[in-house]
Structure 1
């Protein structure tokens, strides 16, 4: 689907047969100008300044090329006539008028500035084509028939006055209305897009909040069960090892009693950060599943990957050197770890796997804590 066919593309300046002046090359260039003007208007939808500036510069550059090319076409027949001089003067004033308009509205947003420029361009280009260019086209046509410049100009004046003048005013009025309504629709669409994006962002935040532990920023128990089920099914399909690491902080209650709950919360945050830094692979999922209890779920191809990750985790937590003089085994915080790594069968489920890993965590604690148990 081309840009002009897109449902998101607005034509603030639709091309009309009335804009054809009868000169093939000039009509072709006019159509390109109208297309570039519509492209500029459509950059207002996304409100990206670089896109707006690029589209404006492209239009200005092509307008400059068109004016030069058009003048050469008219010069072939009119040379230094007053009619051609007036036409060149109109071209010369075009860009300074646009720049003046931008400067006049400099306190507004870029979107509002360009909208004002677009309104000016639509009326200027409409009048320029159906009045000035059409007059010159008629003059040249009459000269080609053998008339003198003055005779050709009189024919042009006669044809472009009266009912044609009324038609010109009608067309200009119609295009003013069409462009105003289209720009209004674009503003409404922009407002709707912004509202939808804001709603989507809010829903995303709510979704993240619903699966996130607020203290540690890890996933919570609710999400643990969802990921557990998904990853186990994946491991079953792909014949991988489904691995679960479950650990809790040794003597955490004594730490809270000695240092206070604020200190305990800070310790939990540090554990959460350590978990995120340890679980770097996209397939690693880290959770806070209880007060001082944490879990990691992941799939792997090697049976020893789970134990190696548990060792790394234990080392990283020991390196945090979180003071815990209430502990009976160390002056610093330690953790007890149970783990399981299996290629799951149809008989394996959340309850059976968690029963195994819970048992191994219990053995780690009963065996003196600060232990990793991967068998029973």
Structure 2
């Protein structure tokens, strides 16, 4: 099925799954009325997340003596807090996202046959995985309200309100509001897929340039390729500069979330409750992987682009061209998604170390809890 998905359809798919987060900017040609509706809806969804975040924060205080309810409230509050965090960052980076997306769409629409073939190869390679991940994110957001059918809790979360909530229609309104926030959390997790899309598109452009370098046979063409390389590198750095903040938010929340979800999984809780937190734990770890995989690929592709000149028939070229090729083969620094003093290089190696640290904390928690029970 995903073999027939075009790059334009892949972009439209990502735009649809992040709709509830409102991180996808409007076109620069959007009318004033459309921009106004966009901002109003974004503000309403932002406020909706806060309407659950504050009651969850109050629940953390109320149930501070109850380890199970406390951990559940903290875990869900962390899932909700990512909504205003991501939303605030996307508002701040609105113009940059708009430029990056419009250039991406323009390249896909105006690309020649070879360029579209490379873009299509990326869609075929990554499309099924990211589509399945998006489905998992939304399924996880749905399990929280669905799980209330099998447990005694009247609401999807243990949020505490300073007013009675047992009567109708207040009870139904709160249930629907909390369910909507669950879908907003799913959409916020899909922002990692949005960042992955930008990084994969950038990597595809590096591959296109790599193939072009292999076929050039004169100095003018080499100069043109070098200019394209540095222009593309500037674009790639803009992509990583936007993705690093999303990555930092995801990493921070995922690490803490995994610890508190682990407490629920270790404890003697009903299977329905554990199922909710198995989904939550799997989702946050998957969210980190969403960015780690394309970031790792971008490192290798950006580093190997200029080396592709060695794969051309440089030995058949005149001495002048061979000297120019020698200059082109000077090692170039790769495009790395990094956060100063926190993440030296976000890659699959870093992701493995992150998983190792999470498992170490999980093991330590298990030992402490079993000692307390004994």
**TM value normalised by structure 1:** 0.23
Higher helix residue share: 2
Structure with max Cα Rg: 1
Higher strand residue share: 1
